[in-house]
């Protein structure tokens, strides 16, 4: 991957709706060369998917929680079961297995506290291996970025 690929990726992270012509102009390539590079980046799995980013406030009330989860036992199989539960939960928008005092950090988005309680009952309290969890409720999201920093 060279600097042109990185410039293409940077532009696609900013706006995937760009036409190939516009993208080619922005990165300084011919449209055919740009299209070949974009196809190659997709085929290699570097571009995993293209999505629409929604404005949570425009969709009504929404709470964002950061949930620190501590497991009872260090066991790869039990961790795998927990990860499957988390992946199946639509409320969980991100899941990180971390080092330190906790084992996982979840980002959970729900419309209200009742929905969060149902999520806790269904996922966190239902897991035999969850020792404890701590919930941090976001008062205000001051930065949200889906773009990865690239060394261009």
Nearest to 137 by CA among 89, 69, 67: 67
**Cβ atoms within 10 A of the Cβ of 144, count?**
8
Q: Which domains does the chain have, with CATH numbers?
A: 3-43 (1.10.10.10), 56-137 (3.30.70.920)
Alpha-carbon gap, residue 114 to 120, rounded angstroms: 10
**pLDDT (0 to 100) of residue 60:** 79
Cβ 116 vs Cβ 133: under 8 Å:
no
State the residue for tokens 């690929």: 5
**pLDDT (0 to 100) of residue 21:** 97
**pLDDT (0 to 100) of residue 81:** 95
Secondary-structure percent of the chain, ordered helix, strand, coil, rounded to 5: 40, 20, 40
> pLDDT tens digits for the chain (152 residues)?
999 999 999 999 999 999 999 999 999 999 999 999 999 999 999 999 999 988 888 887 689 999 999 999 999 999 999 999 999 999 999 999 999 999 999 999 999 999 999 999 999 999 999 999 999 999 988 998 889 999 87
**pLDDT (0 to 100) of residue 16:** 94
Instruction: Give the sign of the dihedral formed by CA 58, CA 62, CA 94, CA 78.
Output: negative
What's the whole-model pTM score? 0.86
Beta strands in 34-149 (DSSP E): 63-71, 92-97, 104-110, 130-137
Alpha-carbon gap, residue 146 to 133, rounded angstroms: 26
What phi and psi values does residue 27 have, to the nearest 5 degrees?
A: -100, -5
**pLDDT (0 to 100) of residue 59:** 85
Q: Tell the burial category of 130 from Cβ atoms under 10 Å away from its Cβ (0-12, 13-18, 19+).
A: buried
Cβ 34 vs Cβ 23: under 8 Å:
yes
């Amino acid at each position: 991957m060279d600097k042109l690929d990185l410039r293409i990726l940077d532009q696609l992270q900013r706006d995937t709706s760009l036409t190939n012509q516009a993208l080619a102009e922005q990165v300084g390539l011919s449209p055919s060369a740009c299209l070949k590079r974009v196809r190659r980046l997709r085929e290699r799995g570097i571009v995993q998917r293209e999505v629409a980013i929604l404005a949570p406030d425009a969709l009504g009330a929404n709470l964002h929680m950061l949930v620190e989860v501590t497991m009872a036992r260090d066991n790869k199989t039990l961790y795998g079961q927990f990860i499957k539960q988390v992946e199946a939960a639509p409320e969980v928008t991100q899941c990180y297995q971390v080092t330190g005092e906790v084992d996982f950090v979840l980002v959970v988005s729900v419309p209200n506290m009742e929905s969060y309680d149902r999520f806790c009952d269904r996922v966190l309290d239902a897991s035999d291996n969850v020792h404890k969890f701590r919930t941090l409720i976001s008062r205000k999201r001051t930065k949200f970025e889906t773009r990865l920093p690239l060394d261009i």
